Structures are given as C-alpha cells and as structure tokens.
Amino acid sequence: MGCSIGFPNNDYAATIGPFVEIEPGSDETKKKETGFITACHLFNTPKNEQSVIGTQVVQPSDGDEPVVDVSTGRFELDISNDRVCGEVVACTYNEETDAALVKITKRSPHEGAFITCQCQDLKDAGFSGTIEYNDGSVSSLEAAYRRNVVKFGKTTKLTLGLCCFEGMAIRISSDSISKTHPLTRERSSIVINNLFFIGGFGNKSFSDDGDSGAGVFLVGENNRLPCIGMVIGKTADGYCIAIPIQKIFDRLSGTNYTNLDNLKVTMKTFDD
C-alpha cells in the first residue's frame, strides 16, 4: 500500500490504497480474489464509469519508473508488461464517491505492508518501528474527529495529520484539468458531498498530487490502524480531502463485476 500506480503509456499516477477482498456475484463456487481500491479519477472522469472497466494497471506508473540505459547513460522508461499488476473491475465517480476497484492479477500481497518510509517519518508520526495493516479493521469518522491520522502516499509517503472537518462538499472543476483525459477524452466538473478534511502538522502537507487513493488510518492503541477513508485530493489552502471508507464499500458493492451482480467488497485480512 502507498506505491505508485498508473495505466500503460501515460504519466498519470495515483496511489495503491487498502487491500480488499472481492467476492464476485452470489455464486458460492466463485473464489474470492484480492484487489485494492484507489481514486477513480486516475482512470476516468464523471459519466464514463463503465468505459474503463478492464483497463490494465501498472505499478509503478510510467512517470515514476526511470531506468538507466547503460549504453547511452540516459534515463528511459521501462514500459514492460512485468509492471502490470491488475485491472479495473469496478468504479464509481459521482456526487457520492470517487473510487475504483482494481483486481490484482500479478504479485498479490502476502501481508498488509506499506511503502518503505524514512525512520524519521515513522518517529515524527509517533511510531517506534515498522507498522502494518493486517486486521482489516475500520473505524467511523465520529471516532476519528480531532484525532491523529496517517496516510501512506506515493508522493509524500508517510504523513501525520488531524481529522478536522466532516460532512463537507467540494467542486472538482474542469479548470483544474490541464488536458483531456487520455482514456475518456473528457473534461468536466463534479460536486462530491459528505467528505472529510485533514490538516497536516507544521509546514508539511498531509497529501499532495499523486497521493490520491491512499488509505487514511486512525492512529489507535498499540500502533493499531483502523482505516477511516481514502485520499482524493487537496484544497487550495492545503487541506487533504478524503472519502469515508464505508461509503466507498457501499458504492462499489452496488456495481457490476464482469456482468455479475451482488458484488461484495470487504477489507483484506492477513495472518499476523
């Protein structure tokens, strides 16, 4: 969790969010699969949800994978298929949510590990050693209000913040889109409701461009990290914008998965 992702042949990038378990359809013979959630706006824009189903996901993104050509000494991009890690199987981008569900097809995780971060960042966030998210626990916004939270993002890595406001609404404007989206060829604006804001400490922002999709976790006792939401952006004055995790699950569980109904999405648990 926290690593860079994108889609082939483009520099667009977001972050791997919490790992989830996907139960497709009501057929009990169908095996459960592992996936992760991330921000839907990486792949599409409003009103084009179904157009990106099946899109391959690469890790890391093209823009985050420089490699050296030893013959020339120049940096070039590695766009090999070895970086394909999954595909989009469901997404929702509307006045309620901005979330995509990616089924992992290669390199499935064996533990709830986060992107590697600096020892000082761990110390600044109040942790004495490495941390993981294995129990799949979630918490409500009411329990997190005015309490410390953390996130692991591909741009700013591990950051500590304070859950400040809830029940907020934002407008994502087409003016902020610098160019037509490469997959959907669309530019548009949308209002998303019932979000919560997170403020960073000191001069460090809680999130930045590319951190969209990162899970937000309440700092609990004994380094326990119940998930409370997912990053989708930031305001002009620096507040992180996030969606409550339960809202994401409610919306994704109501979508279709390879034409099967009754999709069920839950947090992935790992054996300690």
Evaluated on CA atoms 165, 140, 36, 91, the torsion sign reads: negative
Distance separating alpha carbons of residues 197 and 10, to the nearest angstrom? 29
Distance separating alpha carbons of residues 62 and 134, to the nearest angstrom? 29
Domains and CATH numbers, the chain: 4-267 (2.40.10.10)
238-252 CB burial, b ≥16 within 10 A, e <16: ebbbbbbbebbbebb
CB 51 within 8 A of CB 72: no
The single-letter DSSP state of residue 260 is B
Q: Are strands 190-200 and 148-153 parallel, antiparallel or unpaired?
A: unpaired
Q: Point out which residues pair with 216 in neighbouring strands.
A: 151, 229
Q: What is the pLDDT along the chain (272 residues), one digit of tens a residue?
A: 999 999 988 888 999 999 999 987 666 667 889 999 999 988 876 666 677 888 999 999 988 865 555 555 554 445 455 789 999 998 888 888 899 999 999 999 999 999 988 888 888 888 887 789 999 999 988 888 888 999 999 999 999 999 887 666 666 654 444 455 666 666 666 778 888 899 988 778 899 999 999 999 999 887 789 999 999 988 888 889 999 999 999 888 877 666 556 788 999 999 86
